Chains A and B, each alone.
Chain A
């Protein structure tokens, strides 16, 4: 990068920072005069400048007669959407699986401070907080991360939200499963001269991305995984190369030991390299 470019970037960055600190509005003080804890937590949260009534409905009755009986409602998804519907990442929330399940935003997000996962068991010791939250509900998926072959989410290499968008659903997605996987696994995406059709269709035909007792996240161990689609030719796989000859464990144990180009090849139709 040239010095001129560095200068331009530094100047633009500085200008942005300066713009950022211009005018602010005052928070409503009526609520905070009683709710000390909320006042403190609001102050450091992203909603620090918002009026309480922006999110909490029913404050009129509470102000007229303060007490637990008139406690304002906690914000539901609709209250959050009055602002966040305009976010590009949340504009299709209505059609997400989480929305259809009736989840409120507050079940994952703390409005004032980041939400800590509750009821997380020993198996859910993820290094990132968002995966912990996901694991508090998706126990079935959590169990798969304890399997011998798994994506290293617990180990901190990635997070549930690296692959899943909790604010949108499959119905409103513009990426197929293969495209989702090759956002990180570019080396297998080719395009290859010789393709393996299931690789083009859907990575999850062969792999379970969360975890598997089989090596390489395979849905089913080799050779069964391969034999569901392929017959074995005696001429090439039998010990003697004769019809109905014995096919030994050396061949059956790991099809990809020979067909190493299983994701596609630049030259070989048999996907051996």
Chain B
């Protein structure tokens, strides 16, 4: 270590000595060091469930890795920490760590006084969801590649080609950050200042698919166009931010936030030519013009953002306003972008809001708000032959601006002395999309898309809260939406919504809650127009309806003074109906096009979940617990013709369930020392993707020392 480094550490330590001494003295008072240290040993074993070493369905979001490098069976040691130090006079230091193995852990440290705060955190987590996608790749699924595709002159893509080299598909994400805050007590009770750094690193391998263009691999190349390959990830994001808040003379509150964020992708960017080998092996060749085609290019980017907010609270009124702006720009370009002089990828956003609330009479409050947003695409346009409205298939539509204006009024009746309230309100959302369409005679035409410039949606609603008696709370929120201008299929031409819930809590800890949600959204206001632009023939409308039900009930209670139990049941149903519409030719042609509604198809999927849990303090020293959860999803992805076709694959329906059983016991040797053990059994059954069916056993033992 260099002399200067030693010197800096010495100076830092010497300046901290008074601090440590002060804290040590204080710890002899009412404060002190407290916490829990819990080393633990986890053993696990999985059977079935997917591609063994590649990805186990049960490890999709909860990957476990043995110290011996195996993710199917093994063991690992870890440590949970929860430490807190307080000097009893407002100064505290806390350190927490949660460890569930090398691939799932988190920690944070925080130091606070009344004048400053310093904190840091990290979180590391692995997912293998992409591995499950790989298992279900088209050429590994019944029907994934239709045998009717015989190759040359058969449709556009004949079969799927897997160029994977056997990577382990996983994504490791590590979030980290640190910050410091100078609190108001340090700055004359008028202002606070914070500085933070947040970031993450995301590394791993994913699976990407693509389809080459009609001439990219030469004539009659249907059998080799559709491909998949291992796509590495290596990304970092670092964001520095500063926040300043002040209350000048106590007159109003002011806050400024600014940030500078840099995203960098260091992984290899593949081009079509990187797969020239397997294409050639199949008897085709990557064309000269296609060699540089970038596959799933991820640009580096920089985001800068600034915002100011003001708020003021009067005796009977409150006001709040804010303005924010951001600029997102890309910092790296593909060879084709450079060749086309596409030198700027830039999105500028501006937002502001103003909110006001006034108490008209003691029991009635009125409020109004306005919110505005403007997203502007300032990227290079047009850009050579890469992006131009003059050439067919070089631009369908460019969204130049997206302006949203939302405003509304509401009144709330809250009788004096009552905890119940009723609010009635109206709000309106308008979206204005400024876009450029292709101008080529053969280019994509507006009447062949279901996307228009303006959306105007209104909503009236009631929000009721009733607390008729101690412990009972009821919420009821019905609303009705309608659009006087529909701009996209996802708009609600009309929608009826209802949210209701009731909670009953008793003084002895019983808690009963029920809820119900309903949303019925319809939109049949958008059409495709057949024929040509000059001579339209007839319209074919898309008719959408989406009905969403959700309901549930839960009860938790102390059955006896030593037994606590809970039960919950939830149900969600998504019923989505739309028309299956085809056209005889592509929209990229000047010729007359014919749209046709093949049929009406619906997708209805139900999801149930059941949870049971209990814990029993059998003796002063021994506590046992048990829990069981079931989550079941079942339904059809489509009906009719689409369902018939999907029936040849595994994707025609969703049909799976997950059972989880947890049994635990904790024995306290003393108040300070306890030993806990937990056994978990999980079983995932997938009746469609049978290879994903599997089970897992996990045993965790931990020794907790509290002080």
Contact = CB atoms under 8 A, between A and B. Distances in A.
B397 to A, nearest CB: 7
B414 A213 contact: no
Contact of A232 (B8, B22, B98, B582): B582
Nearest to B243: A88
Interface string A158-183: 10000000000001111110010000
A142 B572 CA distance: 12
B517 interface: yes
A252 to B, nearest CB: 5
Nearest to B127: A152
A255 B96 CA distance: 44
B646 A253 contact: yes
A106 B30 CA distance: 24
Contacts of A257: 137-138, 160, 209, 226
A33 interface: no
B15 A17 contact: yes
Interface string B550-580: 1010101000000000111010101010101
B637 interface: yes
A247 B633 contact: no
A220 B313 contact: no
Contact of A10 (B12, B87, B419): B12
Contact of B645 (A156, A224, A233, A252): A252
Interface of A is mostly: loop
A132 interface: no
Contacts, number: 507
B106 to A, nearest CB: 6
B298 A187 contact: yes
B373 A176 contact: yes
B79 to A, nearest CB: 15
Contact of A171 (B11, B261, B369, B402): B369
Contacts of A91: 245, 253, 255, 309, 311, 320
Nearest to B198: A183
B320 A94 contact: yes
B293 interface: yes
Contacts of A195: 377, 398-399
Give the one of B160, B182, B208, B633 with max A CB within 10 A. B633
Contacts of A249: 143, 146, 645-649, 651-652
Interface string B289-317: 00001111111010000010101010000
Given A92-B355, A156-B100, A7 B313 contact: no
Contacts of B509: 118-119
B210 A272 contact: yes
B387 A194 contact: yes
Interface stretch (A38-46, A53-61, A63-71): A38-46
Contact of A7 (B4, B450, B566, B594): B4
A28 interface: no
Interface string B107-148: 000011111101000010101010001000110010111101
A24 B546 CA distance: 60
A43 B85 CA distance: 11
A20 B113 contact: yes
Give the one of A94, A148, A193 with max B CB within 10 A. A193
A20 B91 contact: yes
Contact of A157 (B125, B255, B342, B580): B125
Interface in A142-160: 142-144, 146-150, 152, 154-158
B91 A21 contact: yes
Contact of A266 (B208, B337, B651): B337
Contacts of B293: 267-268, 273
Given A43-B86, A176-B351, A220-B603, A156 B210 contact: no
A265 B584 CA distance: 26
B279 interface: no
B125 to A, nearest CB: 4
A232 to B, nearest CB: 5
Give the one of A10, A125, A173 with max B CB within 10 A. A10
Chain A to chain B: the 4 pairs with minimum beta-carbon distance, closest first: A119-B511, A14-B15, A174-B324, A122-B613
7 contacts: A95-B320, A119-B556, A122-B568, A241-B153, A257-B226, A272-B211, A273-B293
Given A17-B111, A123-B629, A143-B572, 13 more contacts: A13-B118, A16-B180, A102-B414, A152-B61, A156-B104, A193-B345, A213-B605, A229-B489, A231-B583, A240-B154, A243-B584, A244-B582, A267-B294
